[in-house]
Structure 1
Amino acid sequence: MTLKVEHLVGGYSSIPVLKDISFEVPSHSLVGLIGLNGAGKSTTINHVIGLLRPMKGTIELNGLSLQEDAAAYKNKIAYIPEIPVLYEELTLKEHLELTMMAYQLDPKEAWQKANRYLKIFRLDNKLDWFPINFSKGMKQKVMIVCALLPKVELLLVDEPFLGLDPLATHDLLMLLDEEKQAGTAILMSTHVLSTAEEVCDSFVMIDDGQLLAAGTLADLQEQSGQSDASLSKIYLDMTEK
């Protein structure tokens, strides 16, 4: 199970933000989409989840594209956005029930998973709360729990650490590792390069909508000619060039 992005050109207007980007995200892997603010990370993810249509290039998940069967494609993915999007009129419990219905999950099995995640993120006593009563971090945790409920082939995570305290960040990374071990392909965009270096199996580095390099840290060190350089140093050196 692999996400394949090939020669992607795209953006929000007739002027492309992304300029011929290609990369893969295999199953059982956590791939870091690395770039500074405005590099094109969120634009790339918005193309993968189908919010934007490519001007050129292809995006396939296990050989299936959005154009072929949008419903089947979207049923194979889950998404944790950078900015939480919740319904003001729905309680936490109702958000979870909506997710279960959307993915046609077995309620008994889904609630077993949900209850575990709720306890991990200390939300288990807030099922009847409405989003207006949640902090930014709590809203982010709701998005994480909803995204982890279905068993998907591809999990997309956009700048997940914004608003999370250190304990919640640790819990999220633990759960992402569980997903990876279970076979999920994970694409995580972030500009927190120190954390990315610790947890990602490989990296896709972009700047100004262009692919700078891709591969494991060892691959990037070889490409940059710096055998012991950190991910941050490699990226900053490449962007300066």
Structure 2
Amino acid sequence: MLVVNIEQAGYPGDTAILEDIHFSVKPGELVGLIGPNGAGKSTAVKSILGILNNFKGNVEVSNYSYVPERPIFYERATLWEHIDFLQAILQVHEKEFMKRAEELLEIFQLTDVIHHYPDSFSKGMQQKVMLILAFLRKPDLYIIDEPFMGLDPRATKILLNLLEEEKKNGAGVLMSTHVLDTAEKRCDRFVLLSNGRLIVKGSLSDIQDKSGLSGGTLFDCFDKLMEGES
């Protein structure tokens, strides 16, 4: 699904933000990319997407859907026009695609605004639109950056259930998030970054061993490991 080998990555005029970052996402698993602000999570995601010029390393990535932290839309295009355009690009069976679109619109409670412009929506509604478009692609891999920002509890539960369904169908998920309690319950493995370096990767038990907190929560382990980085 995803194999990431970053030797160095950064931006023009800056020293390398990331160094020696190596991890993978396997079929049917959800990997949480976690770390404090400025840890390099966004740079890691941009490296995976191939949009950094200052990059040294190698990334092997399957067909993917990307949900950015800040939603991006086409100007003067309604929600339904976004969906219709995606169907045309993917060149998939129209009837099945539109049926799935209608199901997702109903699940996320956006049916009444299908002919409205997403740039007029609230942050939570815009996030729902991005999620609908991502799930309509039916990719091998989901790359999701801070998906819970702006979502109400019901929408968060819907998202998590949909991701679980996609995992059961063999899709992999890389999710960058600050919501550690949810990550602990849902992620199969974790990649913890700090100051552009890989601190630890693996299961919760691996992180507990690394932090020296047997049985500790992900939040407590994270806090303990960050003490060593300060």
Amino acid at match of 2:58: T
Ranges in structure 2 where 5+ consecutive residues have no aligned partner: none
Equivalent residue runs for 1:138-177 within 5 Å: 138-177=125-164
Counterpart of 2:79 in structure 1 is 92
Partner of 1:20: 20
Matched residues in 1 for 2:212 and 2:93: separation?
Answer: 51
For residues 59-117 of structure 1, the C-alpha deviation after alignment (integer angstroms, 9 at most, x for no partner) is 0126xxxxxxxxxxxxx111011001112300000001122222222211111211111
User: Aligned partners of 1:106 and 1:138: how far apart in 2?
Assistant: 27
Aligned residue for 2:89? 102
State whether residues 47 and 55 of structure 2, in contact with CA within 8 Å, keep that contact through their aligned partners in structure 1: no
The residue that corresponds to 1:46 in the other structure is 46
**Corresponding position of 1:128:** 115
Q: Verify: 1:225 aligned to 2:224, yes or no.
A: no
Instruction: Return the offset for 1:54.
Output: 5.4
The percentage of aligned residue pairs carrying the same residue is 45
**One-letter amino acid of the counterpart of residue 101, structure 1:** A
Contact 1:47 1:54 in 2 (8 A): no
For 1:121, the aligned partner's letter is: F
Amino acid at match of 1:3: L
Q: Secondary structure at the match of 1:229?
A: coil
- C-alpha separation in 1, matches of 2:31 and 2:182: 12
Aligned equivalent of 1:67:
none
3-state DSSP of counterpart to 1:211:
strand
User: For residue 185 of structure 1, what is the aligned residue in structure 2?
Assistant: 172
- Matches of 1:48 and 1:54, distance apart in 2: 13
Q: Structure 2 vs 1, CA of residues 8 and 144 (structure 1 numbering), >3 Å: closer, same or farther?
A: farther
100, 120, 128: which one aligns with 1:113: 100
Contact 1:82 1:160 in 2 (8 A): yes
SS at match of 1:149: helix
Give the corresponding residue for 1:216: 203
Aligned-residue CA RMSD (Å): 1.3
The secondary structure found in structure 1 opposite 2:112 is coil
Greater Cα shift, 25-34 or 111-120: 111-120
| Contact 1:8–1:54 (Cα < 8 Å) also in 2 | no
Amino acid at match of 1:22: H
Give the whole-Å Cα distance in 1 for the aligned partners of 2:36 and 2:94.
40
2: CA distance, partners of 1:4 / 1:203: 14
Distance 1:102 1:31 in 2: 29
Give me the whole-angstrom Cα distance separating, in 1, the residues matched to 2:175 and 2:89: 23
| Secondary structure at 2:103 match in 1 | helix
Runs of 5+ in structure 1 lacking a partner? 63-75
- 1:148 alignment partner, SS class: helix
Bigger Cα displacement from structure 2, 181-190 vs 127-136 = 127-136
The number of aligned residues is: 227
- Report the Cα distance in structure 2 between the residues aligned to 1:53 and 1:80, rounded to whole angstroms: 21
